[in-house]
Amino acid sequence: MITTVLPTYARANLTFTKGEGTWLVEASGTRYLDLGAGIAVNALGHAHPELVQVLTQQASQLWHISNLYNIPQQQALADALVAATFADTAFFTNSGTEACELAVKMARKYWFEKGAPNRTDIIAYEGAFHGRSAAGIAAAGTEKMTKGFAPLLPGFAQLPFGDIDATRAAIDENTAAIIIEPVQGEGGIRPLPDADLQALRALCDETGTLLIMDEVQCGVGRTGRLFAHEWAGVTPDIMMVAKGIGGGFPLGAVLATENAASGMVAGTHGSTYGGNPLACAVGNKVMEIISNPDFLAEVNRKSGLLRQKLEGLIASHPDIFTGVRGTGLMLGLMCKAPNMDVVNAGYAQHILTVPAADNVVRLLPPLNITDDEISEAVARLDAAATALEG
Ligand SMILES: *Cc1c(COP(=O)(O)O)cnc(C)c1O
């Protein structure tokens, strides 16, 4: 008999009733160290006092109105994002998937309005994840996501991740845009080398192709810069944001340059809930905290500390781990043992991690994890690895 919740998730049998910072607590009182952070969502940990304050304050005033009216919290968040990034304009969604939908629509509309309605093709990359909508699965193109869901949205092709020569060869008179994660998340914490992102930017400039960056997982301070592409010193034309921006409240955004967004006039896109006062009240506080250079400097310092300890862990368990990759607090432990065994052994030590493709275990802690919690996390991973060897 089918479960009353549609059985699309392979869940661990864990039930948490409370969260405090980097910790999740079961009803029994057992505490787990959370290095998954709801898959890079709880960027400031659980129940952050300032986020609770702005959320409850807004909840007592106004939850939802429609985008038929002004929403000052939304305006403030757009202003903050535009001031802090390459972008001239922002549209708010409730999720990363919806951001993907708009990014694709925006790119196609751009060319339509420029008098090149043939330019509809989007180049994506193997190992990508852009969400589970029709556009999202067509962009990622993996059989795991697309099988049984044909006909797929046409106009997407996948190339080897960041392959510049293949991209140059693939761009033709029908290409609208490239979509890429500067650091692949679900694909196994695979950072694109800075030089490759720069080369993609140059290719796009040469051919007019729009560069869409999916920073849903790697954005909002995760890599130690506000957005991951800043490391390479190049900017996208369109960027998808979600996950961390809401600190755990559903919120996403598409940021774009004035040029890339030029086709999106009144009536071309919309959302019932996107940019609602509750989500934007939280998003403003998240941005205020995370965009502070001192906060980002701490993310980088903690990344160094965690990496250094992980190198020791890997050296002590060569049969379990082979290395670590990633940037900031978006790290992937490359495993020799099956990654799910490592994740499960972690549960037994009361630490939460997240599996990814390419046999990787993701470490995506709250960005405000403490030094003591970093030490404790690595001690628990060490115990988990020891138990696996036994
Ligand atoms: C999670 C994720 C998405 C989809 O976001 P949802 O909020 O789950 O719709 C898209 N792109 C990337 C890179 C992601 O990590």
- Could you tell me the CATH number of the domain that includes residue 354? 3.90.1150.10
268/385 same-domain check: no
Nearest to 376 by CA among 49, 20, 31, 14: 31
pLDDT at 106: 98
Which of 265, 290, 315 is the last residue before a domain boundary?
A: 290
280/336 same-domain check: no
Helix (H) or strand (E) holding 184: strand 183-184
Residues 24, 26, 32, 38: is their CA dihedral positive or negative? negative
Atom nearest to 133 CA in ligand 1: 9
Nearest to 107 by CA among 234, 227, 237, 266: 237
82/114 same-domain check: yes
29/97 same-domain check: no
User: 275: which residues sit within 8 A by CB, 6+ positions away?
Assistant: 67, 71, 74, 77, 91, 92, 93
236/311 same-domain check: no
Q: Report in angstroms the alpha-carbon separations of 357 from 70, 127, 335.
A: 42, 8, 11
Q: Which strands sit side by side in the sheet containing 23-26, from one edge to the other?
A: 16-20, 23-26, 31-34, 351-352
Distance 342 CA to ligand 1 centre (A): 24
Helix (H) or strand (E) holding 361: strand 360-363
DSSP letter for 278, please: H
Nearest to 221 by CA among 296, 332, 301: 296
Asked if the structure places residue 11 within a domain, the reply is no
85/172 same-domain check: yes
CATH for 87: 3.40.640.10
Distance 320 CA to ligand 1 centre (A): 29
267/304 same-domain check: no
Asked if the structure places residue 368 within a domain, the reply is yes
Strand partners, 238: 212, 256
What's the pLDDT tens digit per position in 301-338? 999 999 999 999 999 999 999 999 999 999 999 999 99
Atom nearest to 136 CA in ligand 1: 10
Domain that holds residue 280: 50-290
The separation between the first and the last C-alpha atoms of the chain, rounded to the nearest angstrom, is 38
Asked if the structure places residue 10 within a domain, the reply is no
Averages of pLDDT over each 10 residues, the chain, 390 residues: 96 97 97 98 98 98 97 98 98 98 98 98 98 96 93 97 96 98 98 98 98 98 98 98 98 98 97 98 98 98 98 98 98 98 98 98 98 98 97
pLDDT at 384: 98
Which of 260, 290, 320 is the last residue before a domain boundary?
A: 290
| Cβ-contact 342, 388 below 8 angstroms | yes
283/313 same-domain check: no
Distance 288 CA to ligand 1 centre (A): 23
Asked if the structure places residue 277 within a domain, the reply is yes
279/317 same-domain check: no
Asked if the structure places residue 212 within a domain, the reply is yes
Output the ligand 1 site: residues, CB below 6 A.
Answer: 95-97, 100, 129-131, 181, 185-186, 214, 216-217, 242-243
Which of 238, 256, 290 is the last residue before a domain boundary?
A: 290
pLDDT at 174: 98
Asked if the structure places residue 5 within a domain, the reply is no
315/218 same-domain check: no
73/165 same-domain check: yes
151/278 same-domain check: yes
What's the pLDDT tens digit per position in 38-64? 999 999 999 999 999 999 999 999 999
| pTM, two decimal places | 0.98
Atom nearest to 128 CA in ligand 1: 13
Please count the structural domains in the chain.
Answer: 2
